[in-house]
Amino acid sequence: MSKRSLRDLPAAALDGKRALVRVDFNVPLKDGSVADDTRLRAALPTITYLREKGARVVLLSHLGRPKGGPDPKYSLRQVTRDLERLLGAPVEFIPDPAAGVPSTRRLPRGGVALVENTRFWPGEEDNDPALARVFAALGDFYVNDAFGSAHRAHASTEAVAHLLKPAVAGFLMEKELTYLGDALAHPKRPFVAVLGGAKISGKIDVIEALLPRVDEILIGGAMACTFLVAMGLPVGTSLVEPDRVALAKALLAKSGPKLILPRGAVIAPSLPRAAEHREVPVDQIPDGWAVYDIDAATRHDFRARLLRAKTIVWNGPMGVFETPPFDAGTRAVADALVAARGKGAVTIVGGGDSAAAVAGLEDKLTHVSTGGGASLEFLEGKVLPGVAALEDA
Ligand code: ADP
Ligand code: MG
């Protein structure tokens, strides 16, 4: 899985050359400006390095899900101002990639341009080689720094990498591959996974892929309720996937003692009636009540297991963390990861909501993956097309 990195390119390959960089600027917008610039900041190491080496930087990204054509709501023009602020330099906007070559050639050394949303052009999502040729003409070499989009074979992530060489991994991409890859390939043991979130269905493949590699999987979130049902326990009005109960049964049978379920839950009659919350053991969930978090005993148990671990991978919150007090379980796991990291463990967080749940703790964890779906597919052991298309190291 080792890929050639931007770091491996000699100075002469960068100086004065046009770097076509696929970034992940799929940022949340509010009233026409960037509501959260995390993804812009995540791309800065690659952009800054290229500028310092005298390259002309041409940025490509998708934004949102426009329906097959230009739509001002999803224009990347809305990102330009925030990018300029972060870079402290002007950013030239290229509204049409097919007419963009002269603009890229006019860029000064160290200059930056941003191309309009890749999904405005037919062919992006079909991995169309004709569109990839249009993109490829905008650069002299290709850098993919969009790990969050690497699980999709699109013209700007896959086809273009075959047309424009060298095709290398940017620093964010490299970091993701190193941490997620090494954690799975050479984990220091004990290796413990924590899985939660709403649905078991989206994460079955992750559980299956991790089971043979890890020493323990701790299960929280609504996902745990489907397992409880599989064990014959009533779970009231909790979020359950009835069509996955059989699967949960099979997983329980084959996982043996590796699968650790909650001992008890924080329950309430409904989310609006959160104030009535109380804790019960998992075999005493009353009719008409729903599980919204793991209880204190489980938090304690999970923390002890996590503090013994040397490698931890976490995906999915332990409860409805958006609605206090049901954030306590998720916060407890976050705290346990920070403490484990303090004791020398490798701690990795992947997943969109999980990353949001550890916002502000990034410096105290080994790695927080920026790629939601991509990091899950990576953990499942799938080959990411945008990664595969890059040159091997
Ligand atoms: P990630 O984005 O990190 O992969 P998911 O999208 O799988 O995580 O799950 C996040 C969602 O799961 C959150 O919105 C959270 O409210 C929900 N969730 C967690 N536990 C429960 C629960 N017990 N009941 C209902 N929803 C839950
Ligand atoms: Mg999510």
Q: What is the pLDDT of residues 322-340, one digit of tens each?
A: 999 999 999 999 999 999 9
Mean pLDDT of 31-47: 92
Sheet of 259-260, strand order? 259-260, 216-219, 191-195, 311-315, 346-349, 367-368
Supply the residue whose CA is at minimum distance from atom 24 of ligand 1: 222
Q: How many CB atoms lie within 10 A of CB 349?
A: 24
Q: Are 162 and 135 in contact (CB under 8 A)?
A: no
Rounded Cα distance between 41 and 55, Å, is 19
> pLDDT band at 117, cuts 50/70/90?
very high
Question: How close is the Cα of 323 to the center of ligand 1, in Å?
Answer: 11
Residue 220 has pLDDT above 90, yes or no: yes
Rounded Cα distance between 177 and 182, Å, is 8
Angle at Cα 325 formed by Cα 323 and Cα 327, nearest 5°?
70
Respond yes or no: is residue 39 known to be catalytic: yes
Rounded Cα distance between 117 and 61, Å, is 6
Q: Collect all residues with Cβ–Cβ distance below 8 Å to 233 and sequence separation of at least 6.
A: 282, 283, 285
Q: Are 220 and 265 in contact (CB under 8 A)?
A: no
Q: Which amino acid is at 335?
A: D
Q: Which two tokens stand for residue 129?
A: 């080689």
User: Strand pairing of 259-260 and 264-268?
Assistant: unpaired
Q: Is the beta carbon of 353 within 6 A of some atom in ligand 1?
A: yes
Mean pLDDT of 159-185: 93
User: Mean pLDDT, the chain, as a whole number?
Assistant: 95
Respond yes or no: is residue 16 known to be catalytic: no
Q: Where are the beta strands (DSSP E) in the chain?
A: 18-22, 29-30, 33-34, 56-60, 91-94, 112-115, 141-144, 167-169, 191-195, 216-219, 259-260, 264-268, 278-281, 290-294, 311-315, 346-349, 367-368
Respond yes or no: is residue 350 known to be catalytic: no
> How do residues 260-314 score in pLDDT, each as one tens digit?
999 999 999 999 999 999 999 999 999 999 999 999 999 999 999 999 999 999 9
> pLDDT band at 381, cuts 50/70/90?
confident
Of the residues 352, 371, 372, 386, only one is catalytic, namely 352
Closest CA to 55 of 178, 168, 133, 175: 168
Residue 2 has pLDDT above 90, yes or no: no
Residue 21 has pLDDT above 90, yes or no: yes
Q: Is the beta carbon of 319 within 6 A of some atom in ligand 1?
A: yes
> How do residues 229-238 score in pLDDT, each as one tens digit?
999 999 999 9
Respond yes or no: is residue 305 known to be catalytic: no
Q: Is the beta carbon of 187 within 6 A of some atom in ligand 1?
A: no
Distances 385 to 88, 158, 206 between C-alpha atoms, Å: 34, 6, 18
Residue 1 has pLDDT above 70, yes or no: no
Distances 151 to 158, 326, 382 between C-alpha atoms, Å: 10, 32, 9
Question: How close is the Cα of 220 to the center of ligand 1, in Å?
Answer: 9
Q: Which of 110-114, 149-153, 345-349, 378-382 has the lowest mean pLDDT?
A: 378-382
For residue 323, give the ligand 1 atom closest to its CA.
Answer: 16
Q: Is the beta carbon of 350 within 6 A of some atom in ligand 1?
A: no
Q: What is the pLDDT of residue 202?
A: 82
Mean pLDDT of 217-228: 97
User: Strand pairing of 216-219 and 259-260?
Assistant: parallel
> pLDDT band at 352, cuts 50/70/90?
confident
SS3 56: strand
For residue 238, give the ligand 1 atom closest to its CA.
Answer: 24
This prediction has a pTM of 0.86
Cis omega (within 30 of 0) for bond into 190: yes
Q: Mark 80-119 as b/e (b = at least 16 C-beta within 10 Å).
A: bebbeebbeeebbbbeebeebbebbeebeebbbbbbbbbb
Angle at Cα 244 formed by Cα 238 and Cα 247, nearest 5°?
130
Rounded Cα distance between 305 and 212, Å, is 18
For residue 322, give the ligand 1 atom closest to its CA.
Answer: 16
Sheet of 290-294, strand order? 278-281, 264-268, 290-294
Q: What is the pLDDT of residue 83?
A: 98
